[in-house]
Every structure is written in structure tokens, then in C-alpha cells.
Amino acid sequence: MRPYEYGPRKDNKRNVAAELKEIWDQWDEESKQLFYRECGDLPYIFDVKVDKYLFQALTQYWNLAYGCFFFGKIDLVPTVEEYTTLPRCPRIQVNKAYSKASNVPTFLKRLMNITGMSEQWVAAWIKQKGDSKCIPWKSLRDLILVHPNARKMVDVFALSIYGLVIFPKALGHVDEVISDLFDRLDKKVTPVPTILA
């Protein structure tokens, strides 16, 4: 069982993750090496197997109020340092675990920076889902398949993995919080506040 095959939204996550895996498999070795240099070990999530029964057993120890696992009086709340190393991304400066970003750009500007697309293109695809803005996977997928800039293609692909598989919020969409994660990574600022959001 893969990490995206559990939970109430498993059908959509399986389809999206399968599409991401298909795109990854189509890339040439040069594009994959660029991705590894820029984003670390992220594609290995496609190969991780989750023990369904172990996962079900662990859920009984999950504390919704605190958002962590409790075993008796012992909690397994990760530290800021652990959250910093969780993504295993080369862009994170580990010695700056407590730095914060200043002058955070808007969602529109962050997406323009990540995708390399015009303001009109990005604005046309931004949707409101509940209390936050997001961009549909369909538009990101189409962009990944035809983007002429390899670096931007890699960034959009990584944004999609983080937003659809690792930190999904809106079904079939990448939430604006994930674009904040990329903005922080580009500025070499810790992504921990975004991960906790």
C-alpha cells in the first residue's frame, strides 16, 4: 500500500499520485537529476509502501487536539529541527532553523515565480476553495507536460507532490500554503511554519 492509498480521499490521491508517477517515469535522466539536486529525495515517496494494518493500529494513538501521537504519557511531537529535516530538501539551511521570512509575496506572485507564467495565466487558474485560494492540479499537470524551462518544470512538479500527496488540503488542488513553502525554500528560510499550518 502506498502513502496516498489511505484515508477518505484515497481514490483521488491514488489517481493524482499515479499521474505524478507517470510524469516522473517519462522524464529523461537529466530532468530527474535536476529534480534530485533541487528538491532532494521527494520522488521516493512513490516507492514507499505503508503497512495498512500498522497504520490502522497507530491511528488509535493519534490525538486530534494536539496533532501528534500519544503513547501513555509520552508524546511524539516532532521538534522544529525534526520538521526542518523532514522534507530532506537541499534548499533548507539547517543552521537557520528559527529564521523567518520577511516581505512574503501574495499567492499570485508566488505562483508566477514558481511556474514562470504570466500574471494573466496564473490569475485565470486561481480558485477559492473554502477559506483559502488554490490552483487546480489539471492546470499544473498540463503545464508540467509542456513547460519549456526545465527548472520551472521541476518546481511545478515538486509543488504538485507537496500539495497533492504530502500536504493535501483541497481535493485535486494545490493550496496557497504550499506555495508559501516554496517561497520559504527559495529564500532558504525554514518551512516549519508552513508544515505546521
DSSP the chain: --GGGSSTTHHHHHHHHHHHHHHHHHS-HHHHHHHHHHHTTGGGGGG----HHHHHHHHTTEETTTTEEEETTEE-PPPHHHHHHTT--TTS-GGGTT----SPPPHHHHHHHHH---HHHHHHH-EEETTEEEEEHHHHHHHHHH-S-HHHHHHHHHHHHIIIIIS--STTEEEHHHHHHHHHHHTT---HHHHH-
Each of the 197 residues of the chain gets a pLDDT tens digit; together they read 444 444 444 445 558 888 999 999 999 999 999 999 888 888 888 887 878 888 788 788 777 776 677 777 776 666 656 655 655 555 555 555 455 555 668 899 999 999 999 999 999 999 988 888 999 999 999 999 999 999 999 999 999 998 898 888 888 999 998 888 777 777 766 666 666 65
Count: domains in the chain: 1
pTM over 0.85: no
Instruction: Give the domain range for residue 50.
Output: 3-196
